[in-house]
């Protein structure tokens, strides 16, 4: 199949790459096609996280009942630590030249990896749907304030335009995404600075300082939310872009530029978002209903169109990376189709989910937090396993055996799969979300473990996410070392065809 055979339709004319549909799927990127330096990772990661949505996270954090300084501390730690995890996973891409959820096969086995791949696909699909819905709602709010109508027809039109931009990036692939992210980074970066300047007068430090502090449990809840809302939402795709770098690229550079590019904008936006939300109870409450649109209520009319541009472009930047990686995860989960077909399938599901959020659902924030924590538990467990596996390895991945159930990585490795299942079962027992009725079954371990039950002080600390991350790493580090050493000492088999010319399972 074309998507798995690694054929190129990107031609080279006069020394410059001609833009076309990337048909690389799960295959290994050949050394001849690998290019760039670690610092180029700054652009996709910054562009994907410079969204105005970062301002709303200030309101989300204060919603845990904590003070400005507590929320700031939780945010800084959560953002930096979670994106640092992305940086470490990105090293695997440089060493293995394959998508994140293919490199994960070294830990889980070729077919055993379908479980985390399916979880990864659900998470990235959910994120791209949320971002598309927010872009649609933000556009409608701006048009309503301008008196141009913000009703159903505006939302439908906005949905169509936003969807076309996102799907185009996902289908076209890596080269277009890198170009889009560079433009998005510059435009949104400049306009975001203008936005901050225009609304700075709405900050009232006396009101911010008067926000009462919360308990340690509430602080931990905010910290976990920041981790799941930022880095843990990207960690399953962290190697999808570093795989295009040459093998000789600096690992420290990959970690550093990924972490710096991804966390820079969220840190700045979080600080300002906390100041705005702490200054106005009305704005804080409005953000819960419309996280992006509510931010227009403090803007002068003349800046509404530029605001719409920065809001939509920032959200599109994140959604484009999500749809690209979700397509790869869908292939890794077992779909046999070219990558761009997988991206189209995700696009259709994304539209369906957006229609539900925009036209049917209510209480966006409660559903959003429920989605993040529920999928955050198994993805945290996978992240722990993956981080330990990457740290244990001393050699590059075997390009062929990543695709062969009979190779050194095996078909299904019971221990890592069991870690995912057990960690998720324990983790879901330690998280709650009362705003999403469909998650009422969670928190079943809070009572038996003496943590006060679903109404106790630990109910919203979301300890399950942290526990899953720690369990995944610790168990893999302690018990998987012999398996990794055996894999790396195995004698290479007769590989036959090169990695870019064989059909992948």
For 317, the token pair is: 């930047």
Task: State yes or no: pLDDT of 308 exceeds 70.
Answer: yes
CB-neighbour burial class of residue 204 (10 A; exposed 0-12, middle 13-18, buried 19+): middle
Task: Report how far residue 169's alpha carbon sits from residue 197's, in angstroms, rounded to the nearest whole number.
Answer: 31
The pair of structure tokens assigned to 310 is 């920065």
Structure tokens at 168: 């185009």
- When pLDDT is averaged across residues 314-330 and rounded to a whole number, the result is 82
Residue ranges of the domains in the chain?
2-489
Q: Are 350 and 132 in contact (CB under 8 A)?
A: yes
Residue 445 CB neighbours (<10 A): 19
Are residues 303 and 195 in contact, defined by beta-carbon separation less than 8 angstroms? yes
Helix residue ranges, H only, 333-396: 339-359, 364-392
Q: Check if the beta carbon of residue 407 is closer than 8 Å to that of residue 493.
A: yes
Q: Which residue has the tokens 């799907």?
A: 167
Tell me the β-bridge partners of 13.
16
88 and 389 Cβ atoms separated by less than 8 Å = no
Q: Residue 17 forms beta bridges with which residues? A: 12
Residues linked to residue 355 through DSSP beta bridges, in sequence order: none
Look at residue 5 in the predicted model and tell me its pLDDT. Answer: 34
Closest to 344 measured CA to CA, from 114, 163, 474: 163
The tens digit of pLDDT for each residue in 235-276 reads 998 998 898 899 889 999 999 999 999 999 999 999 999 999
295: DSSP letter: G
CA distance linking residue 54 with residue 310, whole number of Å: 12
Tokens representing 497 are 């065809």
> Would you say residue 176 has pLDDT above 80?
no
Distance, first Cα to last Cα, the chain: 11
Asked if residues 358 and 447 have their Cβ atoms less than 8 Å apart, the reply is no
d(CA 275, CA 71): 11
Band of pLDDT at residue 26, cut at 50, 70 and 90 = confident
The pLDDT assigned to 363 comes to: 66
CA distance 241 to 90: 8
- How large is the average pLDDT for residues 35-41? 89
Q: Which of 103-107, 138-142, 188-192, 489-493 has the highest mean pLDDT?
A: 103-107
SS (H, E, C) 449-478: CCCCHHHCCCCCCCHHHHHHHHHHHHHHHH
d(CA 64, CA 73): 13
Please choose, from the candidates 204, 98, 155, the residue with its C-alpha nearest in 3D space to the C-alpha of residue 358.
155
Q: What percent of the chain has pLDDT over 70?
A: 89
Class of 2-489 in CATH? mainly alpha
Q: 452 Cβ partners below 8 Å, 6+ apart?
A: 446, 458, 459
pLDDT tens track for 431-455: 988 767 778 899 999 999 999 999 8
pLDDT higher than 80, residue 495: no
Q: What is the mean pLDDT of the chain?
A: 85
At 12, give phi and psi (nearest 5°).
Answer: -125, 120
Tokens describing residue 117:
């791949």
> Average pLDDT for residues 227-239, to the nearest whole number?
91
Better pLDDT: 96 or 178? 96
Neighbours of 147 (CB within 10 A): 8
């Amino acid at each position: 199949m074309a998507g798995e055979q690694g054929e190129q339709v990107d031609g080279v004319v006069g020394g410059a790459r001609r833009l076309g549909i990337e048909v690389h799927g799960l295959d290994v990127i050949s050394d001849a096609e690998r290019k760039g330096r670690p610092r180029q990772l700054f652009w996709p990661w910054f562009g994907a996280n410079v969204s105005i949505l970062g301002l709303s996270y200030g309101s989300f954090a204060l919603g845990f009942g904590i003070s400005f300084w507590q929320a700031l501390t939780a945010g800084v730690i959560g953002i930096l630590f979670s994106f640092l995890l992305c940086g470490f996973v990105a090293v695997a891409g440089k060493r293995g030249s394959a998508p994140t959820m293919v490199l994960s096969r070294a830990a889980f086995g070729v077919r055993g990896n379908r479980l985390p791949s399916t979880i990864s696909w659900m998470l990235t699909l959910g994120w791209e749907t949320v971002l598309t819905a927010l872009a649609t709602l933000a556009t409608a709010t701006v048009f309503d304030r301008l008196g141009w109508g913000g009703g159903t027809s505006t939302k439908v039109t906005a949905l169509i335009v936003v969807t076309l931009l996102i799907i185009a990036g996902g289908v076209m692939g890596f080269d277009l995404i890198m170009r889009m992210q560079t433009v998005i980074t510059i435009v949104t970066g400049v306009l975001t600075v203008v936005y901050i300047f225009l609304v700075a007068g709405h900050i009232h430090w006396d009101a911010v300082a008067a926000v009462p502090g919360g308990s340690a449990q509430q602080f931990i809840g905010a910290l976990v939310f920041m981790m799941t809302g930022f880095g843990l939402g990207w960690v399953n795709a962290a190697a999808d872009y570093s795989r295009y770098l040459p093998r000789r690229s600096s690992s420290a550079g990959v970690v550093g530029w990924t972490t710096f590019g991804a966390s820079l904008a969220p840190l700045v936006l979080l600080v300002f978002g906390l100041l705005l939300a702490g200054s106005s109870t009305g704005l804080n409450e409005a953000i819960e209903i419309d996280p992006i649109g509510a931010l227009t209520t403090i803007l002068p009319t003349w800046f509404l169109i530029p605001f719409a541009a920065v809001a939509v472009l920032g959200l599109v930047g994140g959604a484009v990376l999500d749809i690209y990686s979700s397509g790869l995860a869908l292939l890794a989960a077992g779909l046999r189709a070219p990558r761009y077909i997988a991206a189209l399938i995700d696009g259709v599901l994304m539209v369906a989910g957006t229609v539900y959020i925009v036209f049917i659902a209510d209480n966006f924030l409660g559903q959003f937090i429920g989605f993040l924590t529920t999928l955050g538990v198994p993805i945290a467990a996978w992240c722990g396993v993956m981080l330990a596996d990457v740290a244990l390895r001393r050699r590059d991945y075997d390009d062929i055996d990543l695709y062969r159930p009979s190779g050194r990585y095996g078909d299904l490795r019971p221990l890592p799969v069991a870690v995912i299942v057990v960690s998720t079962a324990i983790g879901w027992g330690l998280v709650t979300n009362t705003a999403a009725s469909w998650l009422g079954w969670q928190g079943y371990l809070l009572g038996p473990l003496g943590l006060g039950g679903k109404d106790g002080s630990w109910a919203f600390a979301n300890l399950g996410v942290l526990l899953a991350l720690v369990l995944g790493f610790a168990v893999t580090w302690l018990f998987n070392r012999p398996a990794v050493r055996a894999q790396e000492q195995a004698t290479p088999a007769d590989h036959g065809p090169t990695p870019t010319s064989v059909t992948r399972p």
